[in-house]
Amino acid sequence: MSTSTVVVHPGKQALADGAAARLAVAIIDAQSARGVAHVSMTGGSMGSEIVRSLAALPARDAVDWSQVHVWWGDERYLPAGDTDRNDTQNDAAGLASLGLDPAHVHRVPGPDTTSSAEESAAAYSATVRSADAGAFDVMVLGVGPDGHIASLFPHHPAAGTTDAIAIAVHDSPKPPPTRVSLTLECLERSREVWFLVSGADKADAVRRGVTGAPLETTPAAHVHGQERTLWLVDTDAAGDLESRE
Position 245 scores a pLDDT of 40
Asked, for residue 48, whether it belongs to a domain, the answer is yes
Please say whether the beta carbons of 66 and 27 come within 8 A: no
Here the CATH number for the domain that contains residue 141 is 3.40.50.1360
- Count up the domains in the chain and report the number: 1
Asked, for residue 240, whether it belongs to a domain, the answer is no
Asked, for residue 126, whether it belongs to a domain, the answer is yes
Task: Read off the pLDDT of residues 118-139 as tens digits, 9 standing for 90 and up.
Answer: 999 999 999 999 887 568 999 9
Domain span at residue 180 reads: 4-234
Asked, for residue 242, whether it belongs to a domain, the answer is no
Which portions of the chain are predicted below pLDDT 50? 244-245
Position 133 scores a pLDDT of 57
Asked, for residue 241, whether it belongs to a domain, the answer is no
Asked, for residue 239, whether it belongs to a domain, the answer is no
Asked, for residue 137, whether it belongs to a domain, the answer is yes
Q: Which pTM value belongs to this model? A: 0.95
Alpha carbons 105 and 66: distance in angstroms, whole number: 10
Asked, for residue 101, whether it belongs to a domain, the answer is yes
Task: Read off the pLDDT of residues 168-217 as tens digits, 9 standing for 90 and up.
Answer: 999 999 999 999 999 999 999 999 999 999 999 999 999 999 999 999 99
Position 75 scores a pLDDT of 98
